[in-house]
């Protein structure tokens, strides 16, 4: 066995702060060989990105390496000056960032950006570099590279853009590549292609790759070895199949157990225990109507967004975001809506709940009638009380200037559901109902973690005693262990309160866990709509099959040994 390409020894990274330093990485150790991919996995705040940034010398201010060594082929990177690191960056170490939208300069053509890097890093003339750039774009799988060189980043799709970013990272022929969440911003079907590309480049060029990600599926499909991190410390390391197949550390076991299965519906989500309590009785007061039949029906719906342009210019035709056949959601049902970004699933969700005006068609709730025909304020108010939303981003969905008890009491008071004197007690009970403490009402949103904020959002939605909940990617911004808790809470609420739900998500596994029926959307159209079990077990439409095949799975397979070496 030869010496490793990179070895990190007892690395510590601290962020000095006047009230005590924050230790982001605490004694992290790993080795990386040529032609090998090592995955760094952990939840947000685990310090995995910080390790990558420390290696390439791009720690964000005021972070610094406080102890340990980063040895890249006999050279200790931790001891180098900023100037010396600058020479190494690009030439010895390349980096791929998460968001391909922001890591390219929008004002330069793709070819010019790549040629610039090549000419600087390899001391070539610009004309030579241009020829080389076209070749390299071809190498990363961009068809028709000679023409596409002259295009701007916005003319590329997300996946193609990430390929350009990879070509840029490789412009100086580095030995080491750091990929920081390279596919997190991409759709699953594109994700697989980009991961395959990274894998094949790693093998071909004998690169060492550090793959930083929060997604166990990405690790399972790509990494040879894996390091599990938590609170800046290394929890467990080993060959990927071993760690995922028979995890030793308690934390790794929890992480793996928290991942929702894509192959079967788990019992914890299917049949949660029903809860009854004082607050549940209050929440159920609105539910005195019949429990069978359709909750809502929609005719064929169309939503068009006018193309943007100055008032006097000739406008291109409007963009048709949603064009779907009639839908029906039964009382107490959870309808899953799944699709890739831009498929119109969120827009459809907002059309069905009256948050966006409909271009063509009508949505009719059994208890309220056609919602676009609700003329009187009182009718609209009554409708709004029945239908609530939980959003994706727990940060932007709470008003940071208001205290939590204020956020929760506003809907209760506005709809006159309790007297002023009763409201504080109700707010406390609501907070406890979603798993927080009653005293948390006195805090502001920024004092909570993402998962806790999402619980506050659920409490706010419950505060008006709704019977229908639109969940718009409610777990996409959360860590996997918190995602499982959130799904369990939503499913328990659904059972205890008999809620009807529309569950929008890009994550097939999540949708499978919660939905009774599932609609698959592509480019504004529903391509398949069936019972959840039937759809996942025997997908009929080609696109559904494609989505299911490309979704990363944490399946444990022993990789070819020669390939790993």
Residue closer to other proteins by CB (options 214, 384) is 384
Q: Report if residue 385 touches other proteins, rule: CB under 8 A.
A: yes
Which neighbouring-strand residues pair with 336?
A: 503, 518
Q: Which of the stretches 47-55, 74-82, 393-401, 520-528 binds other proteins when contact is defined by CB under 8 A?
A: 393-401
Whether the CB-CB separation of 227 and 29 falls below 8 Å is answered with no
Q: Report if residue 460 touches other proteins, rule: CB under 8 A.
A: yes
Q: Report if residue 410 touches other proteins, rule: CB under 8 A.
A: yes
CA max distance for the chain: 78
Residue closer to other proteins by CB (options 62, 326) is 62
Residue closer to other proteins by CB (options 93, 427) is 427
What angle is formed at CA 157 by the lines to CA 318 and CA 93, rounded to 5 degrees?
155
Among 283, 324, 464, 489, binds other proteins (CB under 8 A): 464
Among 173, 393, 485, 533, binds other proteins (CB under 8 A): 393
How many CB atoms are closer than 10 A to CB 464? Answer: 19
Whether the CB-CB separation of 347 and 321 falls below 8 Å is answered with yes
How many CB atoms are closer than 10 A to CB 41? Answer: 29
Total binding residues toward other proteins, as defined by CB under 8 A: 31
Per-position DSSP letters for 36-80, written without gaps between them:
EEEEEE--TTSSHHHHHHHHHT-PPTT-EEEEEEEEETTEEGGGS
Find the binding residues for other proteins in span 7-36 (CB under 8 A): 18-19
Q: Report if residue 401 touches other proteins, rule: CB under 8 A.
A: yes
Q: Which of the stretches 230-238, 249-257, 358-366, 389-397 binds other proteins when contact is defined by CB under 8 A?
A: 389-397
Residue closer to other proteins by CB (options 260, 474) is 474
Least Cα distance to 10 among 81, 58, 94, 71 occurs for 71
CB of 364: closest distance to other proteins in angstroms?
19
Find the binding residues for other proteins in span 324-383 (CB under 8 A): 353, 355, 380-381, 383
CA distance 203 to 199: 6
Find the binding residues for other proteins in span 275-314 (CB under 8 A): 311
CB of 189: closest distance to other proteins in angstroms?
27
Whether the CB-CB separation of 529 and 338 falls below 8 Å is answered with no
Residue closer to other proteins by CB (options 320, 380) is 380
Among 84, 399, 555, 558, binds other proteins (CB under 8 A): 399
CB of 379: closest distance to other proteins in angstroms?
11
Q: In which region does residue 280 sit, left (phi positive, over 0), alpha (psi from -120 to 50) or beta (all else)?
A: alpha
Among 165, 177, 389, 426, binds other proteins (CB under 8 A): 389
CB of 413: closest distance to other proteins in angstroms?
11
Q: Cα dist. 310→106, 307, 313, 314 in Å? A: 22, 10, 6, 8
Q: Report if residue 206 touches other proteins, rule: CB under 8 A.
A: no
Among 402, 534, 538, 565, binds other proteins (CB under 8 A): 402
Residue closer to other proteins by CB (options 233, 415) is 415
Pairing of strands 468-472, 225-230: unpaired
CB of 227: closest distance to other proteins in angstroms?
31
**H helices of 259-403, where?**
267-270, 278-283, 345-352, 377-386
CB of 165: closest distance to other proteins in angstroms?
24
**Sheet containing strand 387-390, strands side by side:** 387-390, 468-472, 500-505, 334-339, 517-522, 525-531
Q: Which of the stretches 74-82, 265-273, 406-414, 543-551 binds other proteins when contact is defined by CB under 8 A?
A: 406-414
Q: Report if residue 413 touches other proteins, rule: CB under 8 A.
A: no
Count of helices and strands (H, E) across the chain: 22, 22
Among 295, 391, 448, 503, binds other proteins (CB under 8 A): 391
Q: Report if residue 443 touches other proteins, rule: CB under 8 A.
A: no
Among 306, 315, 414, 545, binds other proteins (CB under 8 A): 414
Beta strand extents in 391-531 (DSSP E only): 468-472, 500-505, 517-522, 525-531
Packing angle, helices 126-139 and 110-122, rounded to 10:
110
Q: Report if residue 392 touches other proteins, rule: CB under 8 A.
A: yes
Q: Report if residue 387 touches other proteins, rule: CB under 8 A.
A: yes
Q: Which two tokens stand for residue 392?
A: 């994706």
CB of 393: closest distance to other proteins in angstroms?
6
Which stretches of the chain bind other proteins, using CB under 8 A? 18-19, 311, 353, 355, 380-381, 383-385, 387-389, 391-393, 396-402, 410-411, 414-415, 457, 460-461, 464
């Amino acid at each position: 066995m030869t010496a490793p390409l990179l070895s990190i020894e007892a690395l510590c990274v601290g962020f000095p702060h006047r009230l005590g330093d924050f230790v982001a990485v605490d004694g992290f150790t790993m080795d990386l060989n040529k032609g090998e991919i090592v995955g760094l996995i952990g939840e947000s705040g685990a310090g995995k990105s910080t390790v990558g940034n420390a290696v390439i010398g791009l720690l964000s201010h005021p972070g610094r390496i406080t102890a340990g060594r980063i040895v890249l082929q006999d050279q200790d990177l931790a001891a180098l000056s900023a100037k010396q690191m600058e020479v190494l960056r690009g030439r010895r170490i390349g980096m791929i960032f998460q968001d391909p939208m922001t890591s390219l300069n929008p004002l330069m053509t793709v070819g010019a950006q790549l040629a610039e890097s090549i000419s600087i890093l390899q001391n070539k003339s610009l004309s030579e570099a241009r020829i080389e750039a076209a070749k390299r774009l071809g190498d990363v799988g961009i068809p028709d590279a000679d023409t596409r060189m002259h295009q701007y980043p916005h003319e590329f799709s997300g996946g193609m853009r990430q390929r350009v970013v990879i070509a840029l990272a490789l412009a100086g022929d580095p030995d080491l590549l750091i990929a920081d969440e390279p596919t997190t911003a991409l759709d699953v079907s594109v994700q697989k292609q980009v991961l395959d590309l990274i894998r094949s480049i790693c093998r071909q060029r004998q690169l060492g790759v550090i793959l930083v990600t929060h997604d166990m599926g990405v690790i399972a499909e790509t990494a040879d070895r894996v390091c599990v991190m938590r609170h800046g410390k290394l929890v467990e390391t080993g060959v990927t199949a071993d760690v995922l197949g028979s995890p030793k550390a308690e934390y790794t076991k929890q992480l793996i157990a928290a991942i929702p299965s894509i192959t079967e519906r788990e019992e914890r989500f299917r049949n949660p225990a029903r809860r009854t309590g004082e607050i549940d009785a209050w929440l159920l007061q609105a539910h005195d109507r019949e429990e069978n039949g359709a909750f809502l029906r929609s005719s064929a719906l169309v939503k068009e967004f006018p193309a943007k342009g100055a008032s006097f210019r000739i406008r291109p035709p409007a963009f048709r975001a949603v064009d779907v056949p009639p839908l029906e959601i039964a009382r107490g049902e959870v309808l899953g809506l799944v699709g890739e970004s831009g498929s119109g699933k969120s827009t459809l969700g907002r059309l069905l709940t009256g948050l966006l005006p409909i271009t063509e068609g009508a949505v009719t709730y059994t208890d309220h009638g056609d919602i676009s025909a609700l003329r009187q304020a009182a009718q609209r108010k009554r409708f709004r009380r029945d239908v609530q939303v939980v959003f994706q981003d727990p940060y932007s969905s709470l008003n940071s200037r208001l205290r939590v008890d204020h956020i929760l009491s506003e809907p209760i008071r506005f709809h006159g559901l309790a007297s002023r004197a009763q409201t504080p007690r109700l707010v406390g009970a609501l907070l406890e109902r979603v798993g927080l403490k009653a005293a948390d009402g006195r805090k502001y949103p920024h004092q909570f973690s993402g998962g806790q904020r999402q619980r506050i959002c659920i409490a706010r939605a419950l505060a008006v005693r709704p019977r229908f909940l639109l969940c718009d990617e409610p777990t996409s911004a959360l860590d996997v262990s918190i995602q499982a808790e959130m799904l369990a809470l939503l499913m328990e609420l659904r059972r205890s309160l008999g809620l009807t739900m529309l569950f929008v998500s890009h994550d097939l596994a999540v949708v499978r866990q919660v939905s009774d029926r599932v609609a698959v959307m592509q480019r504004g159209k529903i391509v398949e709509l069936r019972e959840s079990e039937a759809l996942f077990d025997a997908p009929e439409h080609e696109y559904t099959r494609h989505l299911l095949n490309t979704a990363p799975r944490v399946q444990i397979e022993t990789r070819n040994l020669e390939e790993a070496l």
